[in-house]
Structure 1
Amino acid sequence: MRSRLALAVLLGVLALLGTAAPAAAHAQLVATDPADGALLETAPSEVTLTFDEPVRLTAQEITVYDADGATVPSSARTTGTDVVITLDDPSSLRGTHVVGWFVVSADGHPISGSLTFSVGERSEDVAEPPPPPTSSRVVTTTQGVLAGLTYLGLLTAAGLVLFASLLLPTSYDGPVLRRRLRTLARAAAAVAALGVVLAVPVAAVYAQGAELPAVLEGLDLAAVRDELVSAALVVAGLGAAVSLLGDTTPAGPRRWLAPAAAAVALLGPVVVGHTRAYQPTSLLVASDAVHLLAGATWLGGLVGLWLSLRALAGRERLAAETLARFSTVAGGLVLAVAATGTVLAWRILDGWAPFVGTTYGRLLLVKIGLALVVAGLGGWNRFRLLPRVRAAAGHDDRTATAGAVTRTVRVEALVVVVLLAVTGFLVNQSPRPAPVTVPEGRTGVQDGSVSDLEVLVLLSPRREGRTTLLVQLQDETGEPVVTDRTPDVQLRTSGLDLGSVPVQPTDAGTWSADVLLPQPGTWEVQVGLRLSKFENPVTTVRFEVAPQE
């Protein structure tokens, strides 16, 4: 009866997964109609924003402002990758207008921006629209903590189910150990369920750029549908998996249904992962799933092995068989984690610079370092301690050997726990470098192009004296471009040529320099990028530099 009930739950969850909309990450605005900054003879009846992936509207309305900052009546809707803003009375529009937009990517990350267009003539003065809402660090930190708890509970519970069902020798029929494994698996499943369920309202708050108290005002569930699917997979999958664990050796359908349920639970994080934003999607999603399965088998196996070696004291042959089984599987897990991790990093980061130029890349380096420590400890267990367990003779020798294995396994498990904590914060970071934002004050921003790349040049402050020059290479969507080539930047004005300015990398695709402009006037900034021995495209932008105040 219990097996049939678990199978029914699994079929229902799989049906839910099969009909769930695919997730994405960090959608980008790729086109607008009218174009940003356009001067139109007549006002459009609709304004269209086109993104590279489907997006969703939230309770934060898209708003149209006139040059004085007053709200223009409008409504918005989404059609796939397009957001269409309908103007209620376009015939009354004249002058410059600003569309402030706020949408949510399918993975729950909010994105915002503005579009400016003018009708008939450009207004001399345009009021700045209110800044888009942004959640504080409290919200993002809470997300990271909940994600860490979810990963810790999920991988421990699913891994214990896999260990008890497939790795613990069937010849072992002691109820005490299996009861301990079941109890710990249920506790870990409860932690995972608590973390993933609480993460849903926090994700809803984050998607609207709000703070945690906004949970009391109601949730915009449409903005967190993928989080709901993820929570359903984790809760239902783990619930079915731990319910199938008993005090006796699993046999018949129960031995395979429990691992199958655990595998369904491990699909939960894949639904809201970064991998669906990159190509080839099927390969990356499969790699992500294998990555999680390997991590669960590893962590749960370590915890199960730790409990087993204590329970199997005095039964060296059975303890050696258990350790040998796990060590054999662990070897394959090292290869699986390395292969899938390499594929994911290759497609998501797309270069070496983001490893040190983004928070995502730096956290990934920490994760890789911890994984190497775990792999080293696993190799020590497999090639040094396992032979000692098999060759142990006498009570003292067996006791000392079992103690050494237990200590190593305990340390290995603790390192994996730290690795999962890092992963909890990693999943909430954007793998893309942050675009340049213009600081407050008297600044100047100009753009040009070299080859097929856009060049953004910023001068702050834009006046005589010491100032900061910043250069960023961008693609057609406005995202920073990772390159190992440093651009050649030169400064000149009438009667004075400062020559090449040494710029230093400050982020992926971004360089800056502190320069001294000795006089006001029109300054030229020439940016060149050597692509080959014979190809060195350049662009020149101009700034009007004010005199010293």
Structure 2
Amino acid sequence: MSSTIAPRVRTLLLLFLAVTGALLAGAAPVSAHAALTASDPRQGAVVDEAPAQVSLTFSEGVAVSDGAVRVLDPKGKRVDTGAPADQGANTYAVKLHAGLPDGTFTVTYQVVSADSHPVSGAFTFSIGAPSTTSVALSDQTAGGGVVGGLYGFARYVSYGGFILLVGGATFVLACWPRGAGARSVQRLVVSGWLALTGATLAMLLLRGSYTGSGRVGDIFDLALLSQVLQTKTGAALVSRLLLLAAAALFVAVLFGAYDRRVRADGTGEQNATGTGDTSAPGAGSTDGGTGTAAGTDSTAGTDSTNSTDSTESQEKSDLAFGLAIGGFVVAAGLAATWAMAEHASTGLQAGIAMPVDVLHLLAVAVWLGGLSTLLVALFRAPSLDAPVVRRFSRLAFGSVAVLVATGIYQSWRQLGSWSAFTETTYGQLLLVKIGLVVVLVGIAWMSRRWTARLVQAPERRAAEAVRTPVGAASARTRKGAKPKAGSGGGDGKRAAQLARQRAAVASAAEKRLRDADPLRTGLRRSVLAEAGVAVVLLAVTTALTSTEPGRTEQEARAATAAAVTPQTGALSLDIPFDTGGRDGKGVARVELDPARVGGNEMHVYVDRPNGKAFDVPEIKVAFTLEAKDIGPLPVVPDHIATGHWTADGVQIPMAGSWTIAVTVRTSDIDQVTVDKNAQIG
């Protein structure tokens, strides 16, 4: 039966990686997490005079390099000079040659967003009047093509390898120490290490072409590789390789020294029991007069054996503790290489999001990786004890609890509103993930029921079936094959051979009984169903990591719309205040014209409750965009008339719901800050 089960297990593990890559390969083209929200000149604008520079504003910070922004004249010749300059507020500008002719100019850009995804695009503007242009833009988006597909597949394989490596090792240490000697488990964990290492190396080589030209020939360009090593993503990949070297040492110790300690501990117990069982009949059958002495010697030997066993058990426990600490450090470090270079490293509350993301990844690995190891053990190791399954059930429950807690926080951070569930791709994928988690938890509950029944079910039949032939053979040996004094080494070899044969027969009988156990069969089926759903769940989860978060998608959509159709009306806000002192009440009216991204003219009028102008000693204004962690941007207006202050050139870097805070001081000690939200742009 094992010969037919082994291909099934191998096939499932291959599908674990292959299906993940196949289902998610289409997510690569939408992996850009920064959007162009404004430009100067604007897209499609016709300007009277040639601008000195072209500036681009993105929804979040991006990494630019030489040639990241190019400006082409109607004939396709570059007219930009130098590398793009960072002007702050996510705005980057490139200078242009002087004396540009009239016509239509094309601006192309290819940058890398703060969460490591490439962003590209193009737009046109005209000087004097639009004209024909010979510039032909490529249809390939950043991160697409063959290189994009290879990079995406390597990325998905790396997640699968991490899960098998961490989850398999955790299962052995926490649930099944004897599994360290199981070849199938060893192959599973080592395969995870090889998959993660190979995928990381591939990503390091592909990265330069993936974020640049997209050409296959640039994969082995050492100059590009040198540039990649200087980026945040390159540093994360190199750190992952260094941690994988430590992980290789961990795996070697786990399946080497630790396995030997576990086997020695178990062998010692068996030898002690065997010595005790055989010494009494031997002493009684040889000479009754020396029975007491033989019994004394046997007791002394047993004490010595127990002492040795205690030492071996302590060494095994110490080694297991060291492996657990070292393994956790390495696993957390590996998870951090994703957290520090992707979603969690940018946006809202990055300092909290990164450790939460590490916990989330570790919980996924312990749950799904342990599930894969349990599946292999159930099919390839029929002697798996029920307590092992029970321990993993508890471990999986804890992992699910961590997943739920961290997942709720991540969902709030990446969505920001209930409408994002249905209006964004990220929200729709998240709804699918939630549904799959509910299904998986339901199947896991069924597995827990099978586990409880397996633990409570009597296993006396299996034990008796195993002991009966061994006991009968031992009786026959005592009756008809009594060793003679002075017998040669040939009899000893024959006895050892018979002992091995009896052990093999007993093991085969035990395996047949366990395979025929309906409770164990039911558990295998439920775990297999869990693994099947987990494959799809991992696919959706990985797709989420390469999909633009709902919060940034909605903000970028609103900012882009504002940049295309700017507001022309002034914004007016009335904000009541009360400093608490004498004559400390009034109303501050803030007017912003034209209330759009870019430069604005601001007027502040302060009136008393009766409507008359109120000349207070000091007025200050500050603008904050909490959704993008921008601000407060302070503005100190000039006093020009009674109860009237003004400021020109108030810069609003991007559209959004801004908090406008006004600080009013009515005396030397009486001051208050009041605020109000307003949509600008």
* TM-score class normalised by the smaller sequence: 0.5 to 0.7
**CA separation of 1:146 and 1:174: change in aligned 2, threshold 3 A:** closer
Structure 2: how far apart are the matches of 1:349 and 1:448? Answer: 26
**CA separation of 1:100 and 1:301: change in aligned 2, threshold 3 A:** closer
**CA separation of 1:102 and 1:40: change in aligned 2, threshold 3 A:** farther
Instruction: Tell me the equivalent position of 1:231.
Output: 237
145, 153, 156: which is aligned to 2:153? 145
Instruction: Tell me the equivalent position of 1:84.
Output: 93
Residue 212 of structure 2 aligns with an amino acid whose one-letter code is: Q
64, 83, 91: which is aligned to 1:57? 64
Residues 445-473 of structure 1: CA deviation (Å, up to 9, x unaligned)? 983659999xxxxxxxxxxxxxxxxxxxx
Instruction: Tell me the equivalent position of 2:327.
Output: 258
Residue 199 of structure 2 aligns with an amino acid whose one-letter code is: G
* Contact 1:327-1:382 within 8 A present in 2 as well: yes
**CA separation of 1:263 and 1:60: change in aligned 2, threshold 3 A:** same
- SS of match in other structure, 1:220: helix
**CA separation of 1:304 and 1:41: change in aligned 2, threshold 3 A:** closer
- In the superposition, the TM-score normalised over structure 2's length comes to 0.53
Residue 297 of structure 1 deviates from its aligned partner by 0.4
396, 404, 418: which is aligned to 2:522? 404
Residue 320 of structure 1 deviates from its aligned partner by 3.1
* Contact 2:46-2:129 within 8 A present in 1 as well: no
- SS of match in other structure, 1:86: strand
Instruction: Tell me the equivalent position of 1:66.
Output: 73
Instruction: Tell me the equivalent position of 2:201.
Output: 197
**CA separation of 1:295 and 1:393: change in aligned 2, threshold 3 A:** same
In the alignment, does 2:141 pair up with 1:134?
yes
Residue 149 of structure 1 deviates from its aligned partner by 1.4
Matches of residues 47-446 of structure 1 in structure 2 within 5 Å? 47-58=54-65, 60-66=67-73, 69-79=76-86, 81-87=90-96, 89-91=97-99, 97-114=105-122, 122-125=128-131, 127=133, 129-131=135-137, 134=141, 136-168=144-176, 172=177, 176-177=181-182, 180-208=184-212, 210-216=214-220, 220-221=224-225, 222=227, 225-244=231-250, 245-246=254-255, 247=259, 248-249=261-262, 250-309=319-378, 313=382, 319-395=385-461, 399-431=517-549
**CA separation of 1:424 and 1:209: change in aligned 2, threshold 3 A:** farther
Structure 2: how far apart are the matches of 1:205 and 1:123? Answer: 37
Residues 28-52 of structure 1: CA deviation (Å, up to 9, x unaligned)? 44555566647466742x4443445
* Contact 2:74-2:103 within 8 A present in 1 as well: yes
**CA separation of 1:363 and 1:50: change in aligned 2, threshold 3 A:** closer
Structure 2: how far apart are the matches of 1:238 and 1:292? Answer: 16
Structure 2: how far apart are the matches of 1:122 and 1:156? Answer: 62
Structure 2: how far apart are the matches of 1:452 and 1:411? Answer: 60
Residues 468-489 of structure 1: CA deviation (Å, up to 9, x unaligned)? xxxxxxx9789xxxxxxxxxxx
- SS of match in other structure, 1:369: helix
Residue 354 of structure 1 deviates from its aligned partner by 4.5
* Contact 2:66-2:84 within 8 A present in 1 as well: no
- In the superposition, the TM-score normalised over structure 1's length comes to 0.64
**CA separation of 1:446 and 1:360: change in aligned 2, threshold 3 A:** closer
Residue 356 of structure 1 deviates from its aligned partner by 4.6
**CA separation of 1:413 and 1:226: change in aligned 2, threshold 3 A:** farther
Residue 161 of structure 2 aligns with an amino acid whose one-letter code is: G
Q: Which structure carries more helix by proportion?
A: 2
- SS of match in other structure, 1:111: strand
Residue 377 of structure 1 aligns with an amino acid whose one-letter code is: I
Structure 1: how far apart are the matches of 2:397 and 2:216? Answer: 43
Residue 337 of structure 1 deviates from its aligned partner by 1.4
Residues 194-214 of structure 1: CA deviation (Å, up to 9, x unaligned)? 122212333432312524344
Please tell me whether Structure 1 or Structure 2 has the larger radius of gyration of its CA atoms.
Answer: 2
* Contact 1:108-1:203 within 8 A present in 2 as well: no
Structure 1: how far apart are the matches of 2:66 and 2:114? Answer: 15
- SS of match in other structure, 1:64: strand
Structure 1: how far apart are the matches of 2:179 and 2:34? Answer: 53
RMSD: 4.0
Residues 431-454 of structure 1: CA deviation (Å, up to 9, x unaligned)? 355989xxxxxxxx983659999x
Residue 275 of structure 1 aligns with an amino acid whose one-letter code is: A
* Contact 1:153-1:191 within 8 A present in 2 as well: yes
* Contact 1:26-1:277 within 8 A present in 2 as well: no
Structure 2: how far apart are the matches of 1:72 and 1:389? Answer: 76
* Contact 1:360-1:430 within 8 A present in 2 as well: yes
Q: Which structure 1 residue ranges, 5 or more long, are not aligned?
A: 1-23, 437-444, 454-474, 479-549
Instruction: Tell me the equivalent position of 1:528.
Output: none
- SS of match in other structure, 2:119: strand
* Contact 1:59-1:208 within 8 A present in 2 as well: no
Residue 73 of structure 1 deviates from its aligned partner by 4.7
**CA separation of 1:403 and 1:242: change in aligned 2, threshold 3 A:** farther
**CA separation of 1:240 and 1:271: change in aligned 2, threshold 3 A:** same
Q: Which structure 2 residue ranges, 5 or more long, are not aligned?
A: 1-30, 263-318, 463-512, 558-562, 572-594, 599-681
Instruction: Tell me the equivalent position of 2:19.
Output: none
- SS of match in other structure, 2:522: helix
Instruction: Tell me the equivalent position of 1:10.
Output: none
Structure 2: how far apart are the matches of 1:217 and 1:236? Answer: 22
Residue 413 of structure 1 aligns with an amino acid whose one-letter code is: A
**CA separation of 1:395 and 1:402: change in aligned 2, threshold 3 A:** farther
* Contact 2:208-2:218 within 8 A present in 1 as well: no
Residue 378 of structure 1 aligns with an amino acid whose one-letter code is: A
- Identity across aligned pairs (percent)? 29
**CA separation of 1:298 and 1:83: change in aligned 2, threshold 3 A:** same
Residues 101-153 of structure 1: CA deviation (Å, up to 9, x unaligned)? 322213332223456666xx622436375426525454444333222211111
